[in-house]
Amino acid sequence: MQPETATRVECLLRRFGIGLGLLGAIAILLAMTGASAELQMLGGLAFGWWSYVARMAPRVTVSMTGMATAGVCLGLFTAGLHGFLRWLHRETRGGDSRWKPRWTLSIVGVIVVMFASGIATVGVAHQAGWLLSSTRMLVVNRPNLGGEYSGGDVKNNLKLIALAVHNYEGANGALPGDGLKEGWTTHSWLTVIMPFGHYGMASVDYGYAWNDARNTALFKSVIPDYLNPRINVLRDPDGYALSHISGNIHIFGRGRSLRFDEIGDLSQTMMAGEVASGFKPWGDPKNLRDPSRPFDGSPQAFGSPSGGGATVLMMDGSVKFVSDRADPKVLRALSGAIDRPGTRRSNQGSPGP
């Protein structure tokens, strides 16, 4: 190759490298600044592997025995191939020239790359087939298991739930209780309010239970609005996504839909609250607890993971903290419990610390 030609090739390669680098930088900036989903997808396809490698590399364990075995096998294969090719070259070309070791190494390198590419191609085909045939949601908002995530704290999540419940009541004329006309006694109050909040639930088949095979994939999706950032337990042993927030059984568990005007003082009646143990899936209709119990964080009661009581959501959308030492009479009033058929205890006092 002439020097002038070599210089041109080097210039072309340099320009190609600079252009590729600029495209990569633009894709990264678009992904970081909230560009369209299509551009973010392209950026993820081009550079998403780097974050995966950075995340998985510390978890990789190298087997020295396996590496040694692979090295010995590759060395023997290379030596045998070189001997065979040298013999074949001598028989076909005569003794005029010798087969050079670098030619053998080049062939071995190509074989290794082809072998790795074949494995990668099989993996890509397998994953593509799984994505096309899977009924699971391809995009799910997932919290950061290390702590904070974009869903905010439990107070904000309770307020989002209150907004969805009020929107549901405005559209249906009543709170979740006996549900849709088909009857969602096999679905939770958290499920039916989702279309009135951040999430759509068009794919739920309300004719079947939440844990029926027709609905399983959806109810294994983690919903950040139903979580407490201080709790890292996200799924039960069956893989269903949990809720760190439970509803008031005296509001959502009466077997019929209540209206706001039946409840009384909305600012003194509890709608839902955080729980610290005994978590249930957000799709489970039994995700209800009795606020008249002490807020001690036990599996059947409300409570904060830090102890001392629980952050609770009132029917008017306000958020309060109720102490685990609150008077039982206050808790009874807070719960909105019915003393006898057709009668509701009036709320006296306020839930204090």
Q: Which tens digits make up the pLDDT trace of 80-111?
A: 999 999 888 888 877 667 888 888 999 999 99
- pLDDT of 314 over the 50 cut: yes
- pLDDT of 205 over the 50 cut: yes
In this predicted structure, what is the pLDDT of residue 3?
53
3-32 and 37-56 are packed helices; what angle lies between their axes, rounded to 10 degrees?
100
List the beta strands (DSSP E) in the chain.
Answer: 242-243, 245-248, 270-274, 280-281, 288-289, 309-314, 319-323, 338-340, 343-344
Cα R_g (the chain), whole angstroms: 31
When the pLDDT of each residue in the chain is averaged and rounded to a whole number, the result is: 79
- The Cα 99–Cα 87 span in angstroms is 8
The structural domains of the chain, with segments of one domain joined by +, span: 9-48, 85-134, 154-344
Q: Which tens digits make up the pLDDT trace of 210-221?
A: 888 888 888 998
- The Cα 254–Cα 262 span in angstroms is 13
- pLDDT of 123 over the 90 cut: no
Is 188 in a helix, a strand, or coil? coil
Residue type present at position 128: A
- The Cα 281–Cα 287 span in angstroms is 7
In this predicted structure, what is the pLDDT of residue 47?
63
Average pLDDT over residues 43-66: 72
**Which one, of 155, 153, 152, lies nearest residue 318 by Cα?**
155
Contacts of 342 (CB under 8 A, 6+ apart): none
Q: How confident is the model at residue 293 (pLDDT cuts 50, 70, 90)?
A: very high
Cβ neighbourhood burial of 351 (10 Å; 0-12, 13-18, 19+): buried
Q: How confident is the model at residue 257 (pLDDT cuts 50, 70, 90)?
A: confident
Both structure tokens of 72: 């010995």
Q: What is the torsional sign of CA 205, 211, 215, 220?
A: positive
- The Cα 220–Cα 151 span in angstroms is 18
Q: How many CB atoms lie within 10 A of CB 116?
A: 10
- The Cα 184–Cα 89 span in angstroms is 78
Q: Which tens digits make up the pLDDT trace of 127-186?
A: 788 777 765 555 444 443 333 333 458 999 999 999 999 999 998 888 987 544 344 457
Residue type present at position 203: S
Please give the full DSSP string across 32-81, using - where no structure is assigned.
HTT--HHHHHHHHHHHHHHHHHHHHGGG----HHHHHHHHHHHHHHHHHH
- pLDDT of 352 over the 80 cut: no
